[in-house]
Amino acid sequence: MTKPHGSTSSQIKALAFDAYGTLFDVSSVSSCCEGHFPGKGAAISDAWRQKQLEYTWLCSLMERYVDFWELTSRSLRFACRAQGVEPGEEALVDMMESYLRLEPFQEVGAALESLSRSIPLVILSNGTPEMLLKVTRHNGFSGFFKEILSVHALSVYKPSPRVYQMAEESLGLPRRQIGFVSANGWDAAGGRAFGLHTFWINRFDRPRETLGYEPHLEISTLDDLEPLIR
Amino acid sequence: MTKPHGSTSSQIKALAFDAYGTLFDVSSVSSCCEGHFPGKGAAISDAWRQKQLEYTWLCSLMERYVDFWELTSRSLRFACRAQGVEPGEEALVDMMESYLRLEPFQEVGAALESLSRSIPLVILSNGTPEMLLKVTRHNGFSGFFKEILSVHALSVYKPSPRVYQMAEESLGLPRRQIGFVSANGWDAAGGRAFGLHTFWINRFDRPRETLGYEPHLEISTLDDLEPLIR
């Protein structure tokens, strides 16, 4: 754990986890992209993720919700276009399916197993219910979570306060007693603005967002959580 | 003009222009950034713009509006941090003020002058009224516009449909009779989703967005507009 910041975490009664980028490494699709477009895997994967996030924000603001699977597909097509390649249908399907088999970050499985023994855990994610079911099953994580909460039921993406409210409603706890764990700085800011007790996982020593909503605590990996919530 | 796409533009009775990136070259701040941080001007300028846009989307979705001047300042601080530099107060002020003296793209002055003789023009922008007033005055463009419309009155940013509706209300015209001109692909998509007649200026041969709302016409510069609206 690095750089503690803010209040203590002793009142936390449940943990809500972001999925993509927090539990699952979105860059693990890059080897699949690399297989289809040698020398461009990392660039496609990076552009894909950036555009995927942009499209969630834009669709929400336009009040034209499109589900995360479709946006993931559209952003992949943009990323390929931006890299000057035009994938065929088979390559597109293959790259999209790699999104259902994302690898977790190294410590995640053991940390979730351990945490789930002492406190209820849920996922709170932009993914569709089906995508989330598949990627958690693929990684053997299904049993760790009390519930998998998808924005799909609301037709709006993070960081809308309506999304964070879902955790409150589902867990039946006041927001300050819910620990929200995200490696996406903007998502941590959204959770904090709503009033969740927010942990920002900064695995790659990224600069802190300047949105105006600081996480309660900045940690390095999920391993830092266990001593905090006892 | 390149790649015509969609319906004709003969019914257009007024033009609404995006400001930043469309009339004014946001990358023209890079020389000022370069003066303060040699070798990093372009990188800071690019990250600044990207983060500025992200923050407009995020604040809007979080329902925590912060005005464009403040977001521009916050995103500049993030961009510097991401480049590993820590500007003093004086450098920050200087870089921020360069945003009030953005240079227009080369053809803009003459094209606006000519267009303004045949059709009403307005600006429809994320900027604060003060920022927009200053940058249009600095460039001698004030006389070309019937009105300068800022999202500030609504406390929400593009591409919220409420923003595009402002053009409709201000001009007193049905949306399909308003030509909306933006070089920002996502902004053109937002205008199109709302129902404006949308021109996407693609100056730098960028890939087309895959958001699902195609511009009515893709053009290269403002010079392409004149023959279209006659």
Domain B26-101 listed as CATH 3.40.309.10:
no
Question: Sorting pLDDT into bands at 50, 70 and 90, what band is A129?
Answer: very high
CA distance A228 to B123: 51
Number of other CB atoms surrounding residue A142 within 10 Å: 12
Question: Sorting pLDDT into bands at 50, 70 and 90, what band is B230?
Answer: confident
Q: What is the mean pLDDT of chain B?
A: 95
Interchain contact, B74 vs A210, CB within 8 Å: yes
Residues of B in contact with A186 (CB under 8 A): 54, 58
Q: What is the pLDDT of residue B6?
A: 46
For residue B61, which amino acid is it? L
Q: Is B227 exposed, middle or buried (0-12, 13-18, 19+ CB in 10 A)?
A: exposed
With contact defined as beta carbons under 8 Å apart, do B46 and B62 qualify? no
Q: Which fold has domain A2-23+105-228?
A: Rossmann fold (3.40.50)
- Reply yes or no on whether the pLDDT at B51 is more than 50: yes
* B116-125: average pLDDT: 97
- Reply yes or no on whether the pLDDT at A116 is more than 50: yes
Task: Of B221, B218, B21, give the one whose Cα is nearest residue B107.
Answer: B221
* A133-149: average pLDDT: 98
Residues of B in contact with A157 (CB under 8 A): 61
Secondary structure of A187-198 as H, E, C letters: HHHHHHHHCCEE
Q: Which residues contact B106 (CB under 8 A, 6 or more apart)?
A: none
Interchain contact, B54 vs A55, CB within 8 Å: no
**Which percentage of chain B shows pLDDT scores above 70?**
96
Q: Can A94 be counted among the known catalytic residues?
A: no
For residue B31, which amino acid is it? S
Contacts of B140-145 with C-beta under 8 Å, sequence gap 24+, read B140/B109, B141/B23, B141/B104, B141/B108, B141/B109, B141/B112, B143/B116, B144/B112, B144/B113, B144/B115, B144/B116, B145/B116, B145/B121
Question: Sorting pLDDT into bands at 50, 70 and 90, what band is B153?
Answer: very high
Q: What is the pLDDT of residue A145?
A: 98
Most B CBs within 10 A among A49, A52, A59, A64, hence the mutation to make, goes to A64
List, in sequence order, every beta strand (DSSP E) within B76-172.
103-104, 121-125, 147-150
Q: What is the mean pLDDT of chain A?
A: 95
| Count of all residues that appear for chain A in the document | 230
Q: What is the pLDDT of residue B8?
A: 61
- Reply yes or no on whether the pLDDT at B7 is more than 70: no
- Reply yes or no on whether the pLDDT at B5 is more than 50: no
Which residue spans of chain B are classified as CATH 1.10.150.240?
26-101
With contact defined as beta carbons under 8 Å apart, do B69 and B131 qualify? yes
Interchain contact, B190 vs A58, CB within 8 Å: yes
* pTM of the complete model: 0.95
With contact defined as beta carbons under 8 Å apart, do A197 and A180 qualify? yes
CA distance A3 to B210: 40
Most A CBs within 10 A among B3, B52, B57, hence the mutation to make, goes to B57
Q: Is A86 exposed, middle or buried (0-12, 13-18, 19+ CB in 10 A)?
A: exposed
pLDDT in tens, A12-71: 999 999 999 999 999 999 999 999 999 999 999 999 999 999 999 999 999 999 999 999
Q: Which residues contact A24 (CB under 8 A, 6 or more apart)?
A: A102, A103, A104, A105, A108, A135, A139
pLDDT in tens, A196-213: 999 999 999 999 999 999
Interchain contact, B81 vs A157, CB within 8 Å: no
Which residue spans of chain A are classified as CATH 3.40.50.1000?
2-23+105-228
